[in-house]
Amino acid sequence: MRAHTTLRYGFMMAIVAGLSIAATEARADVAGPSGGAANSSTGTAALKYDFAQGLDTTFDTGFKGPSAVQARAVVKIDPVKDGGPLYSVEMAKGAVVEASWSGDKKIVLKATNGSQTDGKVVVRHTLTPSLELKVNVFSLNAQFAFDANKLVNKIPGAKFAYDSRATQAFAPWGFTAVDTKLNAPDLANATLFSMPFSQFPEVVANNLEGTFGVRASTKPTFSYKTTKVMLSGSDQPIAAGSGEVSMDAIDGDFMEVMATVEGEMKVAGTMSIQPFVALTKVVGLNFTTTIGIDAYTKEYSTPASKVAYQATMVHIPLPNVHVPSTGVDLGAVKAGGSARKSVTIENSGEKAAVVSFKSSDPQFTVPSGSITIEPKGKYEMQVGVSANNAGAASADITVMSNDPDSPEQSFKIGMNGADVGSDDGDDDARLPGGKADADGGCGCKTAGSTTSTGGWAGIGVVALGAVVLASRRRRKA
């Protein structure tokens, strides 16, 4: 690319590093340099969000049961102790950003769907109860409260007996709702804990024998959806799978865009809770009974909670084609004679370049068809002339490629003193490379010295705020 422009979005910092370029073989292509995969490239954003808190929803049965013994349970949906977050949304294989261009020096970015197995929602939860108990039996009249922390520390393993988990795969970006449905035992088989009255203070432990506990069960659906993708360099969000943003093409070996992604999680289900009390002795009297306490059932749905991923840089390879910055002089060629020369066309980019050539004058020849130059590769292009006469003549050689910001570049070629923009005696010094191998029609070779370039400078541009980064490749003078 000829233009040495720097994209600026907000505050930027330039980092310069020298990069060497290795020569690789070029290959002939059947397809032309426009359209198809040659004019598109992709990068991925690996995203993960963990929610390690409990749901902001509480289920309260109120006091239930006969006046002799009443129980109240308050239950929350929480992460399992030492079991990881309540839920995580992960696109570890990468949500795909596709860049495409069509020769108009614009790049269109889309958030394209990945494979159905590239994303997953993982949910794991327990139910955390707190309990209050009112006892009014004979001479015993007392009320006791046990919060969840006190209760769990009295249970072997310090965990409530409820561990529900599920995983749901989805295709990133997840613009359509991803429902993760959890299963659970029925209420009769969902005892969170059961504890003897001997765990109570002495005033109860000395007067009551038996057990108390709580059963609870729920089968929630965790529903996730990506709501917005912001790509740096654009002030328009991508809010649906078909959305896209357009920006000016950049002069670089790659582009990097910062992806800021947001989503939302909703939870809905039905909660069933049933405290239970079983007595075997009351104030020294055998008194075997189970206190009948009706189950409490409530449907619930939580407001959408924001899922905010950490901003992620997306690296997208680009082709970056370089042509000679000065003209090519084929020297003196007599009428009916011919000459040819090798000129280096270079691709410093990270994506293969597809190039083709045309000449403004048919007596100056260029390769036909399309050529693919691999990333960081070079192509030794043969240019030549079959002279119609011994007069000065020149032509414009156009290099057409899938380079996003320079789809067409040109340089001059000439003979017999035509002005091609090179200095006398130094006609090869500023070319990427040019070996003369020509028959000038006079029994001699045209000048054929080769001067290699001094390498390329790589400039990475890092922007804070809206940012597009490009690795620059500039020629030394």
Residue 473: strand pairing partners: none
Confidence (pLDDT) at 285: 74
Please indicate, yes or no, whether residues 307 and 338 belong to a single structural domain of this protein: no
Domain containing residue 435: CATH number: 2.60.40.10
Average pLDDT, stretch 446-453? 27
Confidence (pLDDT) at 423: 53
Residue 88 lies inside a defined structural domain of this protein: yes
Rounded to a whole number of angstroms, the CA Rg of the chain reads: 37
- Which element (helix H / strand E) includes 44? strand 40-51
Between the two ends of the chain, the Cα-to-Cα distance in Å is 15
Task: Label residues 203-229 b or e (16+ Cβ within 10 Å = b).
Answer: ebeebbbbbbbbbbbbebbbbbbbbeb
Residue 37 lies inside a defined structural domain of this protein: no
Confidence (pLDDT) at 163: 96
Residue with tokens 């006079």: 442
Please indicate, yes or no, whether residues 253 and 349 belong to a single structural domain of this protein: no
Residue 475 lies inside a defined structural domain of this protein: no
Please indicate, yes or no, whether residues 111 and 170 belong to a single structural domain of this protein: yes
Decide which of 292, 317, 342 is a domain's last residue: 317
The token duo for 325 is 């910055």
Q: What is the distance between the alpha carbons of residues 326 and 67, in angstroms, rounded to a whole number?
A: 100
Give the E-state strand segments of 292-337 in sequence order.
296-301, 305-308, 312-317, 321-322, 328-329
β-strands 408-415, 328-329 pairing: parallel
Residue with tokens 């003369």: 436
Please indicate, yes or no, whether residues 291 and 389 belong to a single structural domain of this protein: no
Confidence (pLDDT) at 31: 34
193 vs 439, more confident: 193
Share of the chain above pLDDT 90, in %: 59
Q: Residue 74: which of 83, 66, 63 has the closest Cα? A: 63
Backbone angles phi, psi at 91, to 5 degrees: -125, 65
Q: Which of 84-88, 92-96, 233-237 has the highest mean pLDDT?
A: 84-88
What distances in angstroms separate CA 165 from CA 119, 169, 177, one per listed residue?
17, 14, 19
Confidence (pLDDT) at 156: 75
Please indicate, yes or no, whether residues 299 and 372 belong to a single structural domain of this protein: no
Please indicate, yes or no, whether residues 379 and 361 belong to a single structural domain of this protein: yes
Q: How does pLDDT run across 50-64, given as a tens digit for each residue?
A: 999 999 999 999 999
Residue 241's pLDDT band, with cuts at 50, 70 and 90, is low
Q: Residue 131: which of 68, 60, 210 has the closest Cα? A: 60
Q: What is the distance between the alpha carbons of residues 301 and 305, in angstroms, rounded to a whole number?
A: 11
Please indicate, yes or no, whether residues 309 and 325 belong to a single structural domain of this protein: no
Residue 10 lies inside a defined structural domain of this protein: no
Neighbours of 461 (CB within 10 A): 22
Q: How does pLDDT run across 255-298, given as a tens digit for each residue?
A: 999 999 999 999 999 999 999 988 888 777 777 778 878 999 99
Average pLDDT, stretch 473-477? 36
Average pLDDT, stretch 348-374? 97
Residue 454 has pLDDT above 70, yes or no: no
Please indicate, yes or no, whether residues 313 and 325 belong to a single structural domain of this protein: no
150 vs 192, more confident: 192
Cβ–Cβ < 8 Å for 398, 357: yes
Q: What is the distance between the alpha carbons of residues 228 and 411, in angstroms, rounded to a whole number?
A: 45
Confidence (pLDDT) at 153: 83
The rounded mean pLDDT for the chain is: 81
Residue 17 has pLDDT above 60, yes or no: no
Q: How does pLDDT run across 320-342, given as a tens digit for each residue?
A: 999 999 999 999 999 999 999 99
Confidence (pLDDT) at 129: 95
Cβ–Cβ < 8 Å for 171, 118: yes
Please indicate, yes or no, whether residues 273 and 394 belong to a single structural domain of this protein: no
Residue 118's pLDDT band, with cuts at 50, 70 and 90, is very high
Q: How does pLDDT run across 133-190, given as a tens digit for each residue?
A: 888 877 778 888 888 888 888 877 778 889 999 999 999 999 999 999 999 999 999 9
Q: What total number of domains does the chain contain?
A: 2
Residue 422's pLDDT band, with cuts at 50, 70 and 90, is low
Please indicate, yes or no, whether residues 144 and 237 belong to a single structural domain of this protein: yes
Confidence (pLDDT) at 394: 96
Boundaries of domain holding 66: 52-317
Decide which of 317, 346, 361 is a domain's last residue: 317
Residue 17's Cβ-side half-sphere holds a number of Cα atoms within 13 Å equal to: 8
Helix (H, G, I), strand (E, B) or coil at 255: strand
Residue 28 lies inside a defined structural domain of this protein: no
Residue 471 has pLDDT above 70, yes or no: no
Average pLDDT, stretch 335-359? 97
Please indicate, yes or no, whether residues 313 and 327 belong to a single structural domain of this protein: no
Q: What is the distance between the alpha carbons of residues 370 and 361, in angstroms, rounded to a whole number?
A: 19
What distances in angstroms separate CA 227 from CA 175, 240, 387, 442, one per listed residue?
6, 8, 65, 73
Please indicate, yes or no, whether residues 282 and 404 belong to a single structural domain of this protein: no
224 vs 25, more confident: 224
The token duo for 333 is 């060629």
Residue 458 has pLDDT above 80, yes or no: no
Q: Residue 133: which of 291, 23, 303, 368 has the closest Cα? A: 291
